[in-house]
A and B are shown apart, each in its own frame.
Chain A
């Protein structure tokens, strides 16, 4: 799993590739929380286009990101969910909780 960040105006976009599971979800969590709590980004966007699989620990990292965004008054946005990633959020009854878009263009213009 790889995660990298880029910034466009007041938006930080995290590009994630590879599977998110118990072995690496703390990296995702730490990156999200550091950005949401420490920076002045008004919007944090997570690009999941290259993520085929995400387990419950990955979901937990997203939930923590969502909570941190609410505390800091910023937006937390996801885009490019694979069928597997969408399924795990749906089964966890969290799909409607997140702001989700199909691609980066939609996520940035929303």
Chain B
């Protein structure tokens, strides 16, 4: 693989986990996250408490290095996960595309091509009230420790001009219902939300 995936500093990962844990998760989510671990026989790993709201639990939580060679790994996890949740094939592709473009932007712009930085990805179910009742969806949070992003640069570019580059943000917005950037302490957080389109032939995820 070009560039090679070398070791990441343990301190860097530990620091990122500590910050991410504090910024991303409230107490209930943290418990929910912990219960997602499989407790091996004889291990003294995590305290197995039931989350007070199981529907709020993380479905998937990943930490990956800022190496483009890992993008296919995340796509390989996201698309089947969205399928399992009941999203249509087109919705699965859309969500996967948005996450992939977001990760690419983090690697290219936030980490400026450095291959040894850490990116956090977490997914959980969410829901909202709609005319037809409760509509369920997915929230994907992407966390990086790059410099703060100038919100003015998050406008994207007009598509009238045919030229390469600058499409990632547009694709994210087209593929998701909501794309929100927040600076949280020393971290950038991108929140992507997609609600399932109601269908008579399939239930909401």
Contact = CB atoms under 8 A, between A and B. Distances in A.
A91 interface: yes
B72 A19 contact: yes
B137 to A, nearest CB: 20
Given A84-B97, A87-B93, A56 B171 contact: yes
A94 B174 CA distance: 14
B71 interface: yes
A19 B75 contact: yes
A99 to B, nearest CB: 14
A23 B68 contact: yes
25 contacts: A19-B72, A21-B100, A22-B71, A22-B107, A23-B68, A23-B72, A53-B75, A53-B100, A55-B71, A55-B101, A55-B104, A56-B165, A57-B104, A59-B164, A59-B167, A60-B164, A63-B163, A66-B162, A83-B90, A87-B90, A91-B175, A92-B159, A92-B167, A92-B171, A93-B159
Interface residues of A, number: 24
Given A19-B72, A83-B89, 9 more contacts: A19-B75, A23-B72, A53-B100, A56-B165, A59-B167, A61-B164, A63-B162, A63-B164, A94-B162
A21 B68 contact: yes
A88 B97 contact: yes
Interface of B: 2, 68-69, 71-72, 75, 89-90, 93-94, 97, 100-101, 104, 107-108, 159, 162-165, 167-168, 170-171, 174-175
Q: Is the interface of B mostly helix, strand, loop or mixed?
A: helix
Contacts of A88: 97, 171
Interface in A37-62: 53, 55-57, 59-61
A8 interface: no
B167 A60 contact: yes
Nearest to B68: A23
A63 B93 CA distance: 22
A56 B2 contact: no
A104 interface: no
Contacts of A91: 170-171, 174-175
Nearest to B167: A56
Contact of B170 (A53, A63, A92): A92
B165 A22 contact: no
A93 B167 CA distance: 10
Interface in A85-100: 87-88, 91-94, 97
Nearest to A18: B72
B165 A21 contact: no
Nearest to A55: B100
